[in-house]
Structures are given as C-alpha cells and as structure tokens.
Structure 1
Amino acid sequence: MEIVQQFLIPFLNLKLLLFVAAGTFAGIIIGAIPGLSVTMGVALLLSLTYSWELYDALALMLGVYFGGVFGGSRAAILINMPGATSSVATTFDGYPMAQKGEAKLALTLTTIFSFVGGIVGIIVLASAAPFVAKIAINFGQRDYLLLALLGLLLVGSLSKGSMSKGIFAAGAGVIIGLVGMDPIGGGSRFTFGSLQLMNGVNFVVAILGLFGMAEILYQMKSLTTEGKATILKKTAFPTLKFLFKFLPLTLRVSIMGVLIGALPGAGGEIAALLGYDHAKQTVKKPNRPFGEGAHEGAIAPEAANNAAIGGALIPLLTLGIPGDAVTAIFIGALFIHGLQPGPLLMEQSGDLFWMIVGSATLANIFLLLFGLAVVSIFIRIITVPNQILLPIIAVITVIGSYALNNSMTDVYWMLGFGLFGFFMKVHKFPVAPLVLGMILGPLVDTSFRRAYMGSDGGIDFLFGFVNTPITFVLTIVFIFTIASQTNVFKKWKTAFKKS
C-alpha cells in the first residue's frame, strides 16, 4: 500500500503533475527541432533547478527526457531529419510514409507505440530492475564486441540495391567514427595534425548534414518553379483491430530496447536500429516493402528507443551507473541534492524510486495525449511548398549545428557532410550504413582491444567467446545471423534435397 502511495505522488500532487506535463511538452518541442538534443535540454535544466526541491527538479527533467526522445521522430517523419540520434532508424520508413501522403498515420502510429514501448520499459524498471541490472553489469568487453558486430550486420538490412555500396558506406562510417584521440592509447587517429579533429567528429553534426542538408540539396536538384507541396491522404484514426496487429512486434522490440538501454554506453540509437532490423527479419507480410513506407518499419524503432529510456534508468537507480548521457546528468542532480546513487539508493530512498517510476508513467501518458493532440499541427509542415519549406529547414540546420558548441567549425562540418550525403544520394549509396558505422565503429574498436588485452591472446582470446553464458548466447546469435544473411541454411537445404 505504501508503494502505491509513493507511485501516485506525481498524480496527486498538482505541482508535480504540472512539472511533468510542462517538461514533456517542452521535450517534444526540443526533440522535434534538429540540433536541440535531449541531453542539452536536461543539462540546461540541471543548471536551472539545482536550488529546487528534488521531486520538482526530477519531475521536470523526466518529462523532458521522455518527450525529447519521442519528439525526434516528428522531424524524422516529416522532413527526413532526425530530431534525436535515436530517431535515425525512424526515417527509413517514416519519411517514405509521409511522401506517400500518410504523414498523419505515421505520426499517429509512432505516438501510440512509443507510448507502449515506454510503458513496457517502465514495467520492467518497476518489476525487474535488480535482475536486469545484474545482467547488464555482467556484460564484458567481448559481449559489447559481439553486440556491436551484430549491429554492423545490419548493413545487409539497411542497404538498398547494392550490398557493395552499403559495405563501402559502413566502412567509411567506421573510419569517420574513429577520427580523434584514441581512448585507450591516447594517440591521435586520422587527425592529420589538426587540433580541431582531436575531439573527433560530432555525431549530431554528421546527422544534420547527412539527413538534413543533403536532403535539401537533393530536393533542390529537382525543384520546380511551382514548388510542389506534398498531398495528404485523408486518414481515419486507426481501429483497435489495426493497432493490435502490431502489438506482438512492439512487445518484442520493446523488451530488446529495455535490455540494450540498460547496457551502459549502448543507447537508444542502437536499440532503434536493432529493433528495425528485427522487424525487417520477422515481419513476413508488411503492407509494403521495408524502406518504402512499411508501417512496421516506423513503429519498431520508436517502440525500441522509448523502451530504452526505462532500461537506461535501471543501472542508474540500482548501481549508480549511467545508462546514457542523459542519465549521467540525472546522477549529477542526485549528487547535488545530497543523495548517493548506487545499490543502497533503493533501500534508503525507496520513496524516490517509486516517485521516479510514477513520474515516468505520467510523462508517457502526457506523451500520448500531446503527441496525438498536435498531429494535425505537425502535418501542416509538409503541406508548405518546397520553395518556402527548404530554406527554412536550411536555416534551422545551420542554427542547430552552430548551437551545439557555438562554433562555426561545426557548421562547416555539417555543410561538408551535406555535400557528401548529397553525392551519396545522387549515386545511389545508402546513407544509413554510414551512420551505422559511425555509431558502432568506436564501440567495436574499444571493446575488441580491451577484450584482447584482458586475455593472454591467441587461443585464450578465442576461448573467451564461450566462457560465460551471456557471451556464449551472443556468439550463437552472431553465427546464426551471419548464416541467415548469407543464405547458408537455404544452400544446405537445397544440397540436402539434391542428395
């Protein structure tokens, strides 16, 4: 009974309820504007709320967290520019849906199933946090290596047409991701003596260029004097029967999202990409091919990245380890208010844990309400003629890239990535594998080297891949994934029939 009362604190306290509502709405706006990241928004709140009461500050920050991750999908669907890094995978089918006049349906579906994914994450947080944290803390460097390699195998799913072009793009992404200071040895890599490259290439800047500026340049290539606007189909609100069809997939990718979100350093972008690939591999009869506006292709990444929020809160509240950059800021907030994040937090401050669970639930409810309420407002964006819309997007892209570090260098990088992405589009090179390589390249590099240094090399390093249950399971999954993508099983079946 006491737990229920603590859980309901944000629902019954009008001030907390308003803070969660305001935070969620502000988060949706922040997430929808390219260049304004969720991390930036929460960090700004930390500096503004350090003198507040703890519950008030956390309620507002949690609202911005959930709203910001969700809000990134709005720009991803409407203008093919992810508002958040975790919304990259949403562009693959969300934007094609908008181009086919189904923007309202895409926004509605992603809102509903973002809510479902978020609720699944909260349920796991409330019911199985210590168990999931135990799994996450037992992940070794080999496990991170296998997870990253599994992610790189998505090149096959993300490559449209030519596999060789997809592999080339992924390889280029890995090289770009490795630019900067070596996190292990401390030396410089691919910097060519430039101090500006020592910190590496800002991933958000690359996203703004590859998806934003590149799309603007590509649209201008075929822009007519009439400035054609997108035609919207009249779409009724989805029926329950239609929505329930996607529920099994949503639950599967949400569980994946929670587990990946609980891994320190993994993040919602990896969860979204793996969720998208899972949908592509398991959905046998999508309404249209993946990459061309499949409903499942828009739903899966959004359910996964919203579920990853609950996963990221698990190591924070049970172990005192941040699951991502935003939860690292939450640790700062707890320290400021005199609390010590770690295993004793739940025992000594159980009321705080359940207040956070209650606020997260409330934030998801507001996410659903606000998300559905503003669908008709958001879709007006794509009815604006391209001659007016494209210059506005270009200005937002430049401002967003400059606002990251108040540096013109980031603007130049964004423009460079925009030109690079434009030539990739013209010559039919997929952009998604390039982004995939940038995300996973550094993780493959550091986890491989740390795993190798932690062994005696040679046989001992290879034996380590079957040394623990987690590593063994991931190794089997990795082998089966390679076999399925190279059609090994189909070849064996054919050979067996011939014999």
Structure 2
Amino acid sequence: MLDQILVPFTDLHLLLLIALGTLFGVVKGLLPGLSVTMAVTLLVSLTYTWDTIPAIVTMIAVFYGGVYGGARSSILINVPGSASSLAHTFDGYPLTKRGEAGVAIGITTIYAVIGGAIGLLCLALAAPFLGELALGFAARDYFLIMFLGLLLVGGLSEGSMAKAIFVAGIGVTLGMVGMDSLTGVERFTFGNLELKSGINYIACMLGLFGLSEVFVQLHNLGKVKADVIIGKILPPLIYLIKFLPLTIRTAIIGVVVGILPGAGGEISSLIAYDHAKKTVKNPTRPFGKGAYEGLVAPEVAVMSTNGGAMIPMLTLGIPGDAVTAVLIGAMTIHGLKPGPMLMVETPELFWVILGAALVSLIFIIVWGLSAISFFARVILIPKYILMPIIVFFTVIGSYGINNSVADVYWMIAFGVIGYLLKLYKFPTGPMVLGIILGPQMDVYLRRAIITEEGSVWGFVSSLFVHPISLILTLFVLFTLLSQTNMYKKMTKQLFQKFSKKSA
C-alpha cells in the first residue's frame, strides 16, 4: 500500500504531470465562469489515448488545483471563480480592499492543503472497508447503486426533482442507443449505421459542460478590471493553532457533504461559513468585514469535500459531484470499473490516486504561494480571447475520439442542449450520468431477473430479503420520499425545534 502511494512521489514523469495539472487547474479555477468540470472534461478528450495511470493522475491534479483556484478571483476581484467559492467573497474581497490580498490567499492556500489532507485521510480509512463489503454485492445491488446515483445527483442538483428525473430519463434513453450488449439487437438506431455504436459520452460531456458554458458566457464578454494590492503573504503562525478547532469541524462538514452524491463544494462552503458565524465567538474581525475565520471555514470545507466526493465514486461507482461524474466516465474509457469491484480488481490504482492527490496538495502550496502576482494578472484575460480557445479544444477533443466528424456534430448538438437546459434551470449532470449508467443499469437489471428465473416478482421480493439489497432499497425509497413536500415540511419543523433547544 505504502509503495503504491509513493509512486506519484518517485516517478518523475507522474510528478511533472501532477505539477502541470495542478497549475492548469489553478489557472482555470481563477477564471470566473469556467468550471472545474469543464477543465476535467476537456482533459478526458485529450488523454484518452494515454496510459491509464498518467491520464487519471493528471485529471486528479486538475480536479484539486481547479477547486483550490476558484477562490482566487473571489478574493481578488469579488467574482467567484466557481459556485463553491461564493462564500469566499464575503470576507475575502474585504481583505483585498484593506490591502491584505496576499494574507487572504496565504490563509486559503494553507488551509486548502489541511482540508484536502483531512478529506484524503477519510477516503483512505473508508474505502478499504467498503471495498471488502463489495464482495457480497449481487447484480440487483449494482442496479440499485446506479439507480440511487441517478436519484441522488438529480435530487441535489439545481432545479426540482421532476426536472432532474426528466433529464436523467433522457440520458438513460440516449444511453440505450446502439447494439444491445446482451442480445446484439439494434435499439433506437432507425437504420443509421453511425448509431450502431451508440452515442459517445465524451462528446456528450464536451458539449454539455464545455461548449454550453461558452454559450452561457457569451453575454459577459469583456475584460474584468481590477487594481489588486498583494501585500504580505504568510499569516501569523499563531493563527494555525487558533483556527485548529474550526478547521476540524468544517473539514468534517466538507467530508460528510462530499459523500452525499451531487451536493458538492458549493453546499459545504456555505454550510461551513454559516457554522463559523454561529460558533466563533471572537473573530479576528466581524464576519463580512474581513474575518480570517470567514476564509478558513469555506476553504477547508471545499477542499475536504473532494476526498468525501471520491469515497462514493471509487467504492460505489456513485459520483459525489459533477467532476467525479466525469472522472467515472474517464475511468470507464480506460477499462476500469469505478465502484465496488475497484478495490478488489485494481486496489493499486486506488492508492496511486490517493498519492497523486497528496502530491497535488503539495504543488498547491508551491503554486499558491509563489505565483500570486501571476494569478492577479491571469484573471484579467478577456473572455473574447478565452472562449475561442475553449471552443477549439472541444472540437479537437470530440473529433479525436474516433477521428469522426459525427462526434463533432454530437458535441455541438449537446452544447446547444446544455445551453437550453441551463437557460431554463435544468441540471445537466443527470443527463451525462444517464448516458453512462443507463446501459449498465439495463444489463444488471436483466441479469438480476435472470437469476430469479425470469420472475419480476422474484426480483422485487429479493430486494427485501438480502441485507445489502434491503439497505440499498431503503436508501432509494428514502431518496424518493425526501423530495416530497410533506417530508421537507416535517424536516424543517424538526430542524427548527432542534435549533431552538441547542440555543
């Protein structure tokens, strides 16, 4: 295990890829409007011909660097680089106006690494246990896990549950296009030869997360103007001790929220900030006026969310957020099986991923503390220069999948679809998951029914007989119930009563 964790530290090729991947993620993260999901998606198309470990390791580095980089523009120009960095604007930008931009970035850099390390520790402790549990999974359990993943990501995405299920249903339907893997029968091809191989989900991801984001950003053309005074960088050492209790509490918040598929850093950062406001009795300054605690809490929570989000991704095959959904697709491309069997079939890859994330945290310190002035200039790049570059990479990436213009057309089509979905507040993540998970759900469902000698009733009854199946079935039912108005009303009342008693 230790040898595998140290591979990214000792292999110079992997070390260079992680360094460059982290830097690319940081630069992307601090450009307002460009999501980490887009960056990782573009990387999937560029690295699908690489060997497995270099490709996955690079994407993990971009993931961590991008999440960290999102708060830089929040602090420097009061424009969140991503949804998860919204809470950083509350106290980050007031610090910049006070001439303490360097200290603000220094604090977030140090606590980003601490939060990320705590998240990885939780990942290392939880994954082996869940991997051993996976040996008892049957076909019906795999079906329930994938179905639960669609429900959770849909339910926790923007918009209503009905919208999420509708989009996921479209994705599942599109995922069925092509040859049936069990019978070889054509489905939804309408006699078109190009549809026999199905719809490539890389082109789908490039369109939904890449090109659609370009369309969304077109109305914000121009150059963001800012006059940033950096000042000193490192905060007083005493703060590391003073903020330790808050760090541990908000890291736990981040891990727990990350484990919930679909929740993501935008939720954990706001919960952590609210927690800091309610629990810190003597902040360095009033919250909203440049309190250091107002930066520590969301930064620790966001970075620890990464480790939490990878727990369901690597152990159950359920994405913790949109980025891990893309990573599942990337791992599938390279012949891996993210989910219960990953720890059984390729345990060495899990520990290499963990080691790569640790190396990425080290490079976050390097880039975060040495290139602050550079970051302050990068955020001023006009979007009319940046957007054509993104379009170029989406076109090249989609064409390079199979050297087919048809994939470019699919990418453009999904770009338009993604733009319309975002315009009318529909989540895009469930569609990608539907395309990826739909065919697998279909196969496992039919295998489960076959094991019950073709009896649908036998399949249903088996869900309540076997312990693992029963637990997963209850989770599915709970997820469906939790979206009803009655349940939300009851939960809100219980939460209010609990808050009053605590006060």
TM-score w.r.t. length of structure 1: 0.65
Moved more, 466-475 or 272-281: 272-281
Contact 1:173 1:435 in 2 (8 A): yes
| Counterpart for residue 350 of structure 1 | none
Matched with 2:18 is 24
What one-letter code is carried by the residue in structure 2 that aligns with 1:120?
C
Query: Is the contact made by 1:177 and 1:441 (CA closer than 8 Å) also made in structure 2?
Result: yes
Q: Which residue identity lines up with residue 70 of structure 1 in the other structure?
A: A
Pair 98,387 (structure 1): closer, same or farther in 2 beyond 3 Å: farther
Maintained 8 Å contact 2:203/2:407: yes
**In the alignment, residue 84 of structure 2 is paired with which amino acid?**
G
> Are 2:42 and 2:206, in contact at CA under 8 Å, matched by a contact in 1?
no
- C-alpha distance in 1, partners of 2:311/2:353? 11
State whether residues 97 and 106 of structure 1, in contact with CA within 8 Å, keep that contact through their aligned partners in structure 2: no
Please give the alpha-carbon distance, in whole angstroms, between the structure 2 residues aligned to 1:74 and 1:8: 19
Output aligned runs, 1:265-280, within 5 Å: 273=262
Equivalent position of 1:338 in the other structure = none
Distance (Å, rounded) in 2 between the aligned partners of 1:345 and 1:387: 44
With over 3 angstroms needed to count, the CA separation of the structure-2 counterparts of 1:308 and 1:118, relative to structure 1, is: farther
CA 463–165 in structure 1, closer or farther in 2 if over 3 Å, else same: closer
Counterpart check, 1:93 vs 2:95: no
Q: Partner of 2:155 in structure 1? A: 156
Hey, what's the Cα distance between the residues in 1 that align with 2:480 and 2:419?
31
Counterpart residue type for residue 395 of structure 1 = F
Structure 1 residues 198 and 30: CA distance shift in structure 2, 3 A: farther
Q: Which residue of 2 aligns with 1:85?
A: none
1:246 matched to which residue of 2? 250
Q: Counterparts of 1:175-324 in structure 2 under 5 Å?
A: 175-220=173-218, 222-223=219-220, 227-229=222-224, 240-241=243-244, 242-252=246-256, 256=259, 273=262, 285=274, 298-299=302-303, 302-307=306-311, 311=315
Does structure 1 conserve the Cα–Cα contact (< 8 Å) formed by 2:211 and 2:415? Answer: yes
- The Cα shift of 1:464 comes to 0.5
Q: What is the CA–CA distance in structure 2 between the aligned matches of 1:404 and 1:300, rounded to whole Å?
A: 33
Query: Deviation per CA, 1:348-390, whole angstroms, max 9, x where unpaired?
Result: xxxxx7x995x66653432111123334456754421112221
Q: More deviation in 464-473 or 150-159?
A: 150-159
Give the partner amino acid of 1:138: G
Per the normalisation by structure 2, the TM-score is 0.64
The residue correspondences of 1:439-458 to structure 2 (distance < 5 A) are 439-456=436-453, 457-458=455-456
Q: For residues 370-417 of structure 1, what are the alpha-carbon distances to aligned partners after superposition, in whole Å with 9 as ceiling and x for unaligned?
A: 123334456754421112221222222222222333332222211111
**Cα distance in 2 between the residues matched to 1:92 and 1:326:** 24
Letter in 1 for 2:12: L
Structure 2 unaligned spans of 5+: 29-38, 71-79, 94-103, 278-297, 318-327, 337-341, 494-503
Contact 1:144 1:447 in 2 (8 A): yes
Match status 1:409 vs 2:406: yes
Deviation at 1:471, TM superposition (A): 1.0
Q: C-alpha separation between the residues in 2 aligned to 1:308 and 1:493? A: 25
Shifted more, 20-29 versus 133-142: the winner is 20-29
By how many angstroms is 1:432 displaced?
Answer: 3.0
Alignment check: 8 A CA contact 1:451 1:461 kept: yes
Deviation at 1:422, TM superposition (A): 1.8
Contact 1:180 1:198 in 2 (8 A): yes
Which residue pairs with 1:71 in the alignment?
62
2:366 aligns with 373
Supply the AA of the counterpart residue of 2:156: S
Q: Which residue, out of 123, 137, 157, partners 1:121?
A: 123
The amino acid across from 1:387 in the alignment is: Y
Instruction: Say yes or no: does 1:385 pair with 2:382.
Output: yes
The secondary structure found in structure 1 opposite 2:482 is helix
Looking at structure 1, the residues matched to 196 and 470 of structure 2 have their Cα atoms a distance apart, in angstroms, of: 37
Which residue of structure 2 lines up, in the alignment, with residue 51 of structure 1? none
The equivalent of 2:281 in structure 1 is: none
Report the 3-state secondary structure (helix = DSSP H, G, I; strand = E; otherwise coil) of the residue aligned with 1:245. helix
Which moved further from structure 2: 452-461 or 383-392? Answer: 452-461
Q: What is the CA-CA distance between 1:71 and the residue it aligns to? A: 0.8
Judge conservation of contact 1:156–1:166 (CA < 8 Å) in 2.
yes
Q: Which amino acid aligns with 1:210?
A: L
Q: Deviations over 1:407-443 (max 9, x none)?
A: 3222221111111222223333332333343343333
8 Å CA contact 2:45, 2:397 repeated in 1: no
Q: Aligned with 1:246: secondary structure?
A: helix
Q: How far apart are residue 77 of structure 1 and its match?
A: 8.2
Alpha-carbon separation, structure 1, partners of 2:265 and 2:387: 28
* Structure 1 Cα separation of the partners of residues 303 and 20 of structure 2: 23
In the alignment, does 2:435 pair up with 1:438? yes
**Residue type at the aligned position of 1:44:** W
Q: In structure 1, give the amino acid aligned to 2:122.
A: V
Q: Secondary structure at the match of 1:273?
A: coil
Contact (CA 8 Å) 1:124, 1:310: kept in 2 or not?
no
> Which residue identity is paired with 2:83?
D
Aligned-pair distance for 1:40? 6.8
Comparing 191-200 and 208-217, the one that deviates more: 191-200
The residue type equivalent to 2:213 in the other structure is E
Q: Distance in 2 between matches of 1:392 and 1:167?
A: 33
Q: Map of 1:43-54 to 2, 5 A cutoff?
A: 44-45=50-51
How has the CA–CA distance of structure 1 residues 327 and 194 changed in structure 2, closer, same or farther, with 3 Å as cutoff?
closer
2:450 & 2:442 partners in 1: Cα distance? Answer: 12
User: Partner of 1:466: helix, strand, or coil?
Assistant: coil
Asked if 1:141 corresponds to 2:131, the answer is no
CA distance in 1 between partners of 2:172 and 2:346 (Å): 39
Asked whether the 8 Å contact 1:27–1:38 carries over to 2, the reply is no
Total equivalences in the alignment: 412
Q: In 1, Cα distance between the equivalents of 2:448 and 2:175?
A: 20
Matched position secondary structure for 2:224: coil
Q: Distance in 2 between matches of 1:345 and 1:425?
A: 37
- AA aligned to 1:68 is M
Query: Are the counterparts in 2 of residues 69 and 305 from structure 1 also a CA contact under 8 Å?
Result: no
The correspondence of residues 423-434 of structure 1 with structure 2, limited to 5 A, is 423-434=420-431
